[in-house]
Amino acid sequence: MSVVVLPDNVVNQIAAGEVVQRPVAAVKELIENSLDAGATYVEVEFAHGGKSLLRVKDNGSGMSAQDAGLALERHATSKLRTAEDLNALLTFGFRGEALPSIASISKFTLRTRLQDQPCGTEVFVNSGKLIHQHECGMAPGTSIEVVHLFGNVPARRKFLKSDNVEAAHIIQLVRLYSIAYPAVSFVLMEEGRTLFSTTAGLPLTERVQSVWSGVQAQDFIEFEESFSDFSCQGLLSKPSVSRSTRQDIITFVNGRPVDSRVLKSAISEGYHTFIPKGRYPLVFLFITVKPELVDVNIHPTKQEIRFRNEAKVRRLVSEMVLERLQELSRPLENTEDEPGLPPVADVFELRQGAASLLHGDEPVEPEAQAPKAAVALAPVSKPKPVVQTPTQERFTWRYVGKVRRRYALFETEAGLILFNMRAAHERVLYERIMAHKEVNAQQLLIPISLELQALEATVLEEALGLFQEVGFEIAPFGRNFFRVEALPDWISQEQGEAFIRDALGVIREQGSQKGKGNFIHEVIARLASSRAVRVDDGLNEGSIVDLAKSLLRCECPLTSPRGNPTYVELGDSEIDRRMSISVKTA
Ligand code: ADP
Ligand code: MG
């Protein structure tokens, strides 16, 4: 075998594997090029999840005919001259790889016109081969059209997901950039239909509202703060608004949407005492930092970044979040913003977000301060059944009374039982949902209409049947729109929408690796039970006894699904022993 230098189109195809794994990656490169070119208008269109068509059009600087040809050559870039420049880069691209890579795996048309030129130039490349370049009439700016991405690389095509999933990723990406660039108008189209568009110059809250479905301006507080090395600004959700996953914590660094563990955990830390365990805020955080203080090129898709002074960034961000939330909660104590208690109509109500934690005078619920969240069914601290093991046959507990609103006291043949009503209810509800048994759907007089983010919509479409099994009747109603026609009886109408969103969030975050049916079922059951709250005053002796009976019929009656004890037993001998010890005085 002899050594050969690989032809450029082979090198490009190899590089394409790194730069462009799926359609959304190509869209990202093209949008970033448009932004680098100073565009104030960026239009993105796609068809079939980007597999058959991608087009990004902008009104940026454009290129000369000569540069247009050069741009398609490997390592042709207008943004970097020497290796030292790397450190001071403010633009997105710098490797000069994206265009030739994409052009090597598609039918690629570049049309571009400089602002001060009378006409533009069109370059057509098929699978990396230049087919033609000629003059064309067009408005100033650049339009790049990518047809049949991966058409000549069937091996890579196989790894692409369904059109819907690929489309969902593109939509999410364009949302992120739309929010990151308030001075740019974005339009996103699918097969000729506009999915959304934004207007340049609107304040951030309005911007977020127009692209992020299901949020409202009054859900947020704005913040802006400068530190010595960096500044940050953005939106923090109020403690009463929360989600079941971290997916709506959106972070940008120097205008780039990034996935930063450091920032996400700093934010969660700041919210720590304001939001119950297992709930997450919605946050749009923009960090501006000197380029030399971050590493951005550690990954070809450049979504991850590393701060040079990570510990400091982390501390300052979490302190800033904490301070803003503290400021907010001070006047809140006596405003009408304060959420009221849930209605006592049903014995058990779902709790919404941190509502109950906002009441300063209310005792913090035991679950909120429980030790580390219990995972799966494994109990954290299993009460030892010293006196009586639960029996299916005969219920022998005698009701004595309620204790501290949360507990009930029972007497048994062998001692006393302190019964944790909330934990018991969680267990009963959890097993009931898991058993798919009594599905009591309550039809809604007015259906709830639900608009979802594209990724969540895909999840819901696939899981509709499973939701139905537990009492949700949900009908698809156009792209990303659904109509909720019935809810299971354990959820109140006001909380139906938030519940579905939360469940989808968890399924989306954890779901891909797990077995479908049972997993989704479990997510629903766990979420339902963990949000169940006792409305203690509404419970009379009869319903407490019923609850205890139902508990003892459960498969795992000793703990709640989160591992909290459902009851504690005190045997007669233990009581006697304690009573016979003389208490020492001084
Ligand atoms: P990079 O962005 O890393 O420089 P690309 O392959 O993405 O490499 O682009 C190559 C060059 O083509 C860019 O440096 C830029 O000069 C030019 N270019 C690409 N897209 C546009 C655009 N939308 N408007 C103006 N110039 C562009
Ligand atoms: Mg680029």
pLDDT at 454: 86
pLDDT at 538: 66
- 38, containing H or E segment: none
d(C-alpha 154, C-alpha 9), whole Å: 16
∠ CA(59), CA(65), CA(70), 5° rounding? 100
Mutation test residue for ligand 1: of 18, 31, 33, the one with most atoms within 8 Å of CB: 33
For the chain (length 586 residues), average pLDDT per consecutive 10? 65 69 92 95 97 98 94 68 47 67 94 96 94 96 97 87 90 92 94 90 87 83 90 90 86 87 91 81 93 71 76 92 82 38 30 28 35 30 39 77 90 92 87 74 87 88 85 88 90 86 84 61 79 62 90 85 83 84 51
pLDDT at 509: 76
N-terminal to C-terminal alpha carbon distance within the chain: 95
Can you state the angle between helices 516-531 and 493-510, rounded to 10 degrees? 130
Q: How many CB atoms lie within 10 A of CB 190?
A: 21
CATH 3.40.50.1370 given to domain 347-434+533-576: no
Q: Give residues (CB < 6 A) around ligand 1.
A: 29, 33-34, 37, 58, 60-63, 71, 76-79, 93-99, 142
Which atom of ligand 1 lies at the shortest distance from residue 56's CA? 23
d(C-alpha 503, C-alpha 481), whole Å: 16
Best CA proximity match to 527, nearest among 484, 557, 498, 489: 498
Report H helices in 369-481.
Answer: 421-434, 454-469
pLDDT at 331: 46
- 23, containing H or E segment: helix 23-36
Domains 8-201 and 441-488+492-530 share a fold: no
The total number of residues written for the chain in this structure: 586
Mutation test residue for ligand 1: of 18, 35, 36, the one with most atoms within 8 Å of CB: 36
d(C-alpha 459, C-alpha 384), whole Å: 41
As given in the structure block, the two tokens for residue 336 are 């009408």
Q: Could you tell me the fold of the domain covering 205-330?
A: Ribosomal Protein S5; domain 2 (3.30.230)
Which CATH code fits 8-201? 3.30.565.10
Best CA proximity match to 481, nearest among 513, 514, 457: 457
Which atom of ligand 1 lies at the shortest distance from residue 95's CA? 3
CATH 3.30.1370.100 given to domain 441-488+492-530: yes
d(C-alpha 219, C-alpha 88), whole Å: 37
**Residue whose structure tokens are 């802006």:** 224
Identify the residue whose C-alpha is closest to ligand 1 atom 18.
33
d(C-alpha 275, C-alpha 242), whole Å: 8
Task: Label residue 445 left, alpha or beta by phi (over 0 means left) and psi (-120 to 50 means alpha).
Answer: alpha
Q: Whole-prediction pTM value?
A: 0.61
Beta-sheet pairing, 129-136 with 120-126? antiparallel
pLDDT at 330: 60
Identify the residue whose C-alpha is closest to ligand 1 atom 17.
71
Domain ranges in the chain are: 8-201, 205-330, 347-434+533-576, 441-488+492-530
Q: How many CB atoms lie within 10 A of CB 48?
A: 18
pLDDT at 21: 84
